[in-house]
Chains A and B, each alone.
Chain A
Amino acid sequence: MAENGVGASVRRKEDNRFLIGKGNYTDDITIAGQTHAVFLRSPHAHATINSIDTIAASAAPGVVAIFTGDDLAADGIGPLICGVTVTSDDGQPHRAPVHPALAQGKVNYVGDHVAVVIAESLSQAKDAAELVEVDYGVLPAVTNTATAADEGQTQIHEVAPGNLCFNWPFGDKAAVEEVFTAAHKVSSLELINNRMVTNPMEPRAAIADYNAGTEEITLHLTTQNPHVHRLVLSAFNQLAPEHKLRVVGPDVGGGFGAKIFIYAEELVVGWACRKVNRPVKWTADRTEAFLSDAHGRDHVSTAEMAMDENGKFLALRVMTRANLGAYLSTFGTMVPSYLYAFLLAGQYSTPLIYSEVKAVFTNTAPVDASRGAGRPEATFLLERLVDVCAADMGLDPVEIRRRNFIPVEAFPYQTPVVQCYDSGDYHAALDKALVLANYGSFAARAEEAKSRGKRRGIGLSSYVEACGIAPSAAVGQLGGGVGLWESAQVRFNPTGNVQVFTGTHSHGQGHETTFAQLVTEQLGVPFGNIEVIHGDTAKTQFGMGTYGSRSLAVGGVAISKACEKLIAKGKKIAAHALEAAEGDIEFADGNFTVAGTDKAMSIEAVAFNAYVPHSYPEGLEPGFDENAFFDPLNFSFPAGTHICEVEVDPDTGEVEIIKYSAVDDFGKLINPMIVAGQVHGGIAHGVGQALLEGCRYDSEGQLITASYMDYAMPRADNLPSFDIDYAPTDPPDNPLGVKGCGEAGAIGAPPAVINAIVNALGVKHIDMPATPETVWRAAQSV
């Protein structure tokens, strides 16, 4: 292993700037002459706009301009788009209502964008926004996921009768029904997956600058994928031609999915800077983030499992209603369909699976990917149902899992729901987790707790997820509008240091460190001489960005392939310089060597030679700078078992997590310190969903959890320290042998926590978030 290479817990390159206050987040950027934008948002969930009067506001001090949807339309600025098509059961594509960046005649959720006020200062813009008079005709609101598509509900969009976006059945319904009819036992469960607000700590922001000389717009954004932003803003929104639009995602303070999407504010600010010929800056306050960031989850489901007399799973049937909000966000349709139903096999060899997803429109903020995206919903449903199955069959939750796990010898394993798992050893992870969690001695601890009037519970979750998104051909077959390869460029400078350009984007994941470790390992260049550059369309070639735990599994491989090209070219250069045959040159530890001799040349010397090619192989291009694109062969399938032990106070309903143990399979770890950090954060996110976080709209569509006073984020004293370990397998479909790790915790944790609470209380089910009130009520019911 190279020093600071693969497998070392190297301290992060990015930390110094963040620790001394020298991070460069979007709101930290100030451009001379900048103006400030404030968005006037709808206070109503559903209303027609009869008129907008901006006369008084326009005359307010400092106001530069006020724009409405008509202004955008007049300039041919296109509506926001959804990039993935789902075919409904009538053979038609999903219903796609027009989604204007600024409302045109109608608003469809509280926080919907009505107008933008641009002024010299932020306070002037806020003051002026108060003076805009909008005459609304308030309409009844639809907010309930379960009933939005029912008869008699107000129809939100003309193009979507019954508020239905799509009804998407998947699997052999008749075959599943047949198995259910003949099954020894059917276990069933109704459950919700609670709506969440993703809440990266840095609120969204954008600052746009137009250069009239070059006719170029530069847009600094809180983005996880600058090139995707540029592509969509250019190709679909007509903001500017792609080569005249520069999108920069500088330091970004967390994303978790919420900063993938192309938002109204970004488009409007980008457009407005040219209209007013001044830089325009917008930063969300937290209330705006709650109102207008894409939300996550929000399913209502029924799940049924047919079993034989040994508790062997024969068939699974799932009916889900998924809330997509008022409009389709950029990838909104994909989350409750392909990212959900294709994960319903979980770790089990269930031969038949049928699912039906009704995706509905409501007068709520758009719903899209949020850490895990579809996979937490599938995992929660399945892992809760498996515990119900265990209870119905009189089996221990461990035993029923063991009986149904896909055995290690069955890999690669073709599930009945499209995915083909390339590697996994589910028994190994379970066994290790049981030891880590002291599962065998739980009964004694439960007894002891009982003597204190408390109830202990222990719960498992054996999850698998599909990440490392994604093979482009598969994406295309499913109706996705993009390819999901990744790009890399590895550039030696003449002095021998290295710049690595990646199409992924790091917003907390530590790519600047992990990717440098890959390069130092492969090329032997000292870690300190490697710089990773990302997040600027003017610096890096086209890349797809960071989401779906793809950066290492896809982007890392692209870097590795660029390094391979450098080594291949370096061999030619070294062969010439060392007067040997190319076939005799070996490369290891940063040196090109003539096999069997002590004749050698460092890769830095080769790089110099390539830039100063005075004596150089004939016909070979100068320069030492290679790029590569990698399109993955398959998804990546991290898996593991998480075990949560809780203590419930039946008198108060309070739940304390006593111990949380996680054993995951992420394949090979590049930086174990960073991986552990990803696991910790994911678990906390999942615990937040299970115990604390519930996004609520009232029946009129008012968001009643629009601040950190009302929406409970996990805090340090809600959580324990975590016990984590790994049970790796080697994924044959990934050239680096790695799997994604960023979302696993958020996927694995919610059912582990709820299974533990259910176990403590002796109830069948409890919905998330299991707040003290919910738990107390459940405790009283038994």
Chain B
Amino acid sequence: MMSEISLGILDLAENSLRAGASLIEISVGVSSYEGTLNVSVRDNGCGMTAEQLEKAVDPFFTTKETEGSGLGLPFLKYSAECTGGTFRIESVKGEGTCVKAVFGLFHINRMPLGDIGATVRAVMVLCADVVFSFSADGRGFVMDTRAIRKILGDVPLESAPVMEYIKEYLEENIQETSGEIKL
């Protein structure tokens, strides 16, 4: 079983990569008033047919010909639903997939959000472009690697000073956005 929601998000992003995505949008939104923690991962990968979509949360279904039966989606669905939350996947063949999970923020069964910054950095290593938005009770920020590349010009995103700055940027802004809310 997953120990962090952020690991579940990384697992979703991995699905996106295997669907050939070149852009992955990760969004985490917290509302203490509503008592919800909303997570979504949207990609521009190959998408699924209606039939594949229906089977996507079945732990015994996979399109893979090698190992692995794809427990990621059923895990995440269960972890959201057992906090009184919801889980939804939308997909259009040839256009992409979007997974949305809502967790009960204050529910005793909710896993901690965990290290979302580390998840975003891992996805940045693997995917051409990433958009990460994080908000909590009206505060928040958006990081878009396409905007970062524009600033950097010829300097690669994966060079050490850039990666170090992005790590600090994510950590500080996540911390400030979260404020006093226990995530």
Note whether A and B form a binding pair: no
Task: Give the B-binding residues of A (Cβ under 8 A).
Answer: none
